[in-house]
Amino acid sequence: MRELSDIDVVGVVGAGTMGNGIAQVAATAGYEVVMRDIETEYVERGLGAVDDSLDRLASKDALDEDPAAIRDRIEGTTDLGAFAAADVVVEAAVEDLEVKKDIFGDLDGVTDGDVVLATNTSTLSITSIASATDRASDVIGLHFMNPVPIMDGVEVVVGERTVDAVVEFAHAFAEDLGKETWEADDKPGFVTNRILMPWINEGVRAYDEGVADREDIDRGMTLGTNVPMGPLELADHIGLDVVLDASETLHAELGDRYKPAYLVKRKVEAGDLGKKTGKGFYEYE
């Protein structure tokens, strides 16, 4: 396994919201980044999102470096073979176990044997994902929070066969990206989503049942519990499709207390996924 001091190139699988955010924070920390997705259109969209995010941060004097210099450290590609140059890889693809296992099987073949392979999964088993490789001891969960450039935390999730040296590396790597970490065992939902998904779904049910309007539900939770966002606004920021997927995974694993709220399903079916589509529980420009 490589030491943190050996890391020059960070590979990121997926150029979506989480992938481009991880690529951005890695490049901001000074690493060269290879960000790969399956279509050129997705790669270009991800790079555009990085440009927009860096420009916003620069306008708030929140960067220590010119945004163009950070952006130049990110290479976008559709070539899986580009990960041969990576010293550590973070997967941030769609939240589907079989898709992730296929990706990790491919990564096992194209990366050097001492490269740590991390997954950004929010609910799926690290141990199951690692089983697709011949290096389960080097596979770990690095669950970044959304939006990645803004949120301070990363959840380090330890698989059944993950060795202590990789756990230590994962904490050190996340901290080098400017994040704080906490550690969870490989159990459904880990810490964050095991607690967060029922909270969001109950907020949606309260709105759907007329307990209060959306603003008062969110205001009640922000003022009453000192969280920065209420459940409906947070669901919009996460993406209602992501909330639904996570809730359904936990429902299958842990039972009815994780059953997705009906209104979440209905909005996903309508294509109202939250901030990324311009409409969820609220409307966005």
SS3 of residue 108 by DSSP: helix
- Give the separation between CA 27 and CA 65, rounded to whole angstroms: 11
Q: 95 among the known binding-site residues?
A: yes
104 in helix, strand or coil? helix
15 is in an annotated binding site: yes
Q: Is 105 annotated as a binding residue?
A: no
Q: Is 275 marked as a binding-site residue?
A: no
Tokens, residue 177: 């990206």
Q: Is there a binding annotation on residue 46?
A: no
Active-site residue, from 20, 120, 193, 201 = 193
Instruction: Report the candidate in 85, 87, 120, 81 with the shortest Cα–Cα distance to residue 4.
Output: 87
Three-class SS state of 272:
coil
Residue among 20, 120, 122, 201 flagged as catalytic = 122
Q: In this structure, which long-range contacts are made by residues 270-278, counting pairs with CB atoms below 8 Å and at least 24 apart in sequence?
A: 272/240, 273/239, 273/240, 273/241, 274/235, 274/236, 274/237, 274/238, 274/239, 274/240, 275/236, 275/237, 275/239, 276/17, 276/239
| Active-site residue, selected from the candidate residues 155, 171, 201, 248 | 155
Of 120, 143, 171, 248, catalytic: 143
Scan for tokens 């049910």, then name that residue: 205
- 122 has binding-site annotation: yes
Active site annotation includes 193: yes
User: Strands 116-119, 153-158: parallel, antiparallel or unpaired by DSSP?
Assistant: unpaired
Annotation marks residue 155 as catalytic: yes
Q: Confirm whether residue 276 is marked as ligand binding.
A: yes
146 annotated ligand binder: yes
Tell me if 17 is assigned to a ligand binding site. Answer: yes
4-37-117 Cα angle (round to 5): 30
Burial class (CB in 10 A: 0-12, 13-18, 19+), 101: middle
Known binding residue 16? Answer is yes
**Two tokens at 36?**
């790969």
SS3 assignment, position 34: strand
Total residue count of the chain as it appears in this document: 285
Q: Is 37 annotated as a binding residue?
A: yes
* Residues of the binding site for NAD(+): 14-19, 37, 95, 100, 122, 146, 276
**Hey, which residues are catalytic here?**
122, 143, 155, 193
